[in-house]
Amino acid sequence: MICPDVHRPYHDKRAWALFLRVAKAVKPVHLVCIGDFADFYKVSAHSKDPSRILTFDDELADVNAGLDQLDALHATHKLFIEGNHEDRLRRYLQDKAPELYGVVGADTLFHLKRRQWQYIPYKSDTRLGKLYLTHDVGTAGRYATHRALDVYQHSIITGHTHRMGFVVEGNAVAEFKLSASFGWLGDRAAVDYMQRANVNKNWALGFGVGYLHPASGVAYLTPVPIINYTVVVNGKFYEG
């Protein structure tokens, strides 16, 4: 299962509950957080809404509670790919508290080693079989999935854009590869840095499921858009 950008604690609670319900039924062997699981609002360099009363400690507690729920799925292989929002902490420490730079990070604050998650720093990637995974390739927008395929020239999953996208392209010798993004699980109402109409138009609730063939390493992926807090996975209807 692919968990897209969640932006905890500013997540859509109904969509998150629906994702968990499906995950408990699917019982994934591989569980991937593709980045921006945390929002890290309090350490952002952007101007902040003073009415948001959550402390950084509150944010950490919520993220760890979400990871507790994912750990309870008992996936064999868990990948935590850092996104640009988790990377806000590194930039904050670099600029504001250089004494702590390299001492504390998202991986330590989320206890990823103890939780047995494989940690992939921002701007890095990893592989599952023949499938590459990274948070972004430095671009967003409608054609980000195409750009990711252009960059990697291999099958690739990205997050970051909060869009649902699925592209399959080949080459002159009919070697086909895919690029996919699976939306997000964030709360549109909590977004304060973008015009609301653009958020409503482009940012789709959803996630991804797939099958990794153990012999060939080929990943067969399926986008799961959340429509009115309902989804269909493996022929079964789920309602949040």
* Confidence at residue 47, expressed as pLDDT on a 0 to 100 scale: 85
User: Could you give the CA distance from residue 209 to residue 29 in angstroms, rounded to a whole number?
Assistant: 11
* Confidence at residue 41, expressed as pLDDT on a 0 to 100 scale: 95
- In this predicted structure, the answer to whether residue 51 has a pLDDT above a threshold of 90 is no
C-alpha closest to that of 22 among 233, 235, 163: 233
Provide mean pLDDT across the span 103-109: 94
User: What total number of domains does the chain contain?
Assistant: 1
- In this predicted structure, the answer to whether residue 194 has a pLDDT above a threshold of 90 is no
* Confidence at residue 25, expressed as pLDDT on a 0 to 100 scale: 97
- Domain that includes residue 218, residue range: 2-124+186-239
Structure tokens belonging to residue 6: 């969640």
* Confidence at residue 147, expressed as pLDDT on a 0 to 100 scale: 97
- Summarised one tens digit per residue, pLDDT across range 160-184 is 999 999 999 999 999 999 999 999 9
- In this predicted structure, the answer to whether residue 192 has a pLDDT above a threshold of 90 is no
pLDDT interval class at 240 (50, 70, 90): confident
Question: 58 lies in a domain?
Answer: yes
Question: 14 lies in a domain?
Answer: yes
pLDDT interval class at 102 (50, 70, 90): confident
Question: 232 lies in a domain?
Answer: yes
* Confidence at residue 132, expressed as pLDDT on a 0 to 100 scale: 98
172: buried, middle or exposed (CB in 10 Å: 19+, 13-18, 0-12)?
Answer: exposed
pTM above the 0.85 mark? yes
Question: 78 lies in a domain?
Answer: yes
* Confidence at residue 63, expressed as pLDDT on a 0 to 100 scale: 98
Question: 156 lies in a domain?
Answer: no
Question: 171 lies in a domain?
Answer: no
pLDDT interval class at 217 (50, 70, 90): very high
- In this predicted structure, the answer to whether residue 216 has a pLDDT above a threshold of 90 is yes
Task: State the angle between helix axes of 56-71 and 13-26 in degrees (0 to 180), rounded to the nearest 10.
Answer: 20
Question: 46 lies in a domain?
Answer: yes
Choose the weakest-confidence range: 3-12, 42-51, 113-122, 133-142: 42-51
Provide mean pLDDT across the span 59-84: 98
* Confidence at residue 57, expressed as pLDDT on a 0 to 100 scale: 96
Write the DSSP symbol of residue 46: S
Task: Determine if residue 114 is left, alpha or beta; phi over 0 gives left, psi from -120 to 50 gives alpha, anything else beta.
Answer: alpha
* Confidence at residue 49, expressed as pLDDT on a 0 to 100 scale: 87
Structural element, H or E, at residue 196: helix 196-202
* Confidence at residue 50, expressed as pLDDT on a 0 to 100 scale: 86
